[in-house]
Structure formats: structure tokens, C-alpha cells
Structure 1
Amino acid sequence: MLHVDSPFPPDTPKHEDELIVPARQLPNWLVRLAALRDPAIRQILPELGVHKNASSAKARRVLGWAPRPPQDAIVATADSLLRLGLLKGGAKAGA
């Protein structure tokens, strides 16, 4: 199954004005079917069924690193996409 999860941890407080991204699962057969028509989806086929465990524990422990709050990261990403002109209505850098 291909998992598409919300960027927010389950314990993130919910506010009325926040958009909540639902988690969805697509069966592998549906992803493979879509890959027949879409090269971008075809690129993820080798990842189907592969479970990866990743953690920021070492970065926190060794470097004292702390991630941005999810809401701040999303806003910073949107600002960058707009600044680079990668979204409709965005101004290209240097323009």
C-alpha cells in the first residue's frame, strides 16, 4: 500500500481555521495501474511495499537540532514556492 499521511502528528491541536490533510491509502494494484499512464508515478514503483524507518533522534542528540513546528515549515514552504514562481500568482525571484 502507498501511504499518504497528514504532515501533522496525530496529537497536533486542531483549530477551526486550519486545513486538515486527510490520510489516504492506495492499493498497490491501483498505483501500478496509474503508473502505466503517468511517468511520475512510475518512478515510485520500486518503493511499493518497502517499509522505511527514519528518525531524527541522532540529529537531536548529537547536534542539538530541533525541527520547526509543522505549521511554520508549511508556511515557509509555501512562501518559497511563491517566491520562486512555482505556484500560480507567485513572482519569480529577481523579477
Structure 2
Amino acid sequence: MAEMVNDLANEHPVVLFRKDEECCQCESIISLVQGNYGASLQIYNLDEQEEGDAMKEHLQSLGQLPAVYMGGNHLGSTEELLSMSITGTLKPTLLQVGAIFL
């Protein structure tokens, strides 16, 4: 399952894996990434994926859901993304992975 998650995470600069569309934390992530920075963001609802339960189990073994990947690397969840924004490392990371351009 790790390979499937990694393959999906590598298809786009920024990927959000969430359980379903009813995710409050996800709205914060979407607002931050798309709203504040205008970055592209691919969202996968695990409840709509054929292997969603197995993917959810794998992602939860890495930390909590929702799970954010940038440049194919697992960054964590909402807390980690907000921390990157506060410390000023989010924008350079988005630039580096090709999610935004200047």
C-alpha cells in the first residue's frame, strides 16, 4: 500500500489525502495552500478510492489524517503545515516542488 500512496503523492506537487469530504482540518489546509498561496493541490478522498481502507491504514501509521505530501514527501497534517506557514518555510517549499511560480 505504501507504493500506491507514494505513486499518487508523486503525481502532483502537493497532495492531500483525507478520509472524506467532511473534514474540517482539510478546509484549513485547502484555504492555506490554495487560498493564501494560489498553489495547485490534488485531493484524494480515501472513501472514494478502491483501496481506500488500506491506504487509510497505511497513512495513519505515518501520523494522523489528513495527510499532506509535497514533492512526494510526507509532511504531516494540519499542524505541520500551519507551523511551516508561521516559520516562513511553506512558500519556499511550494516554490521548490513546483506548486507555485513567481
**TM-score normalised by length of structure 1:** 0.29
| Structure with the bigger percentage of strand | 2
Answer 1 or 2: higher relative contact order, Cα 8 Å, separation at least 6.
2
**Which one has the largest radius of gyration?**
1
| Structure with the bigger percentage of helix | 2
**TM-score normalised by length of structure 2:** 0.28
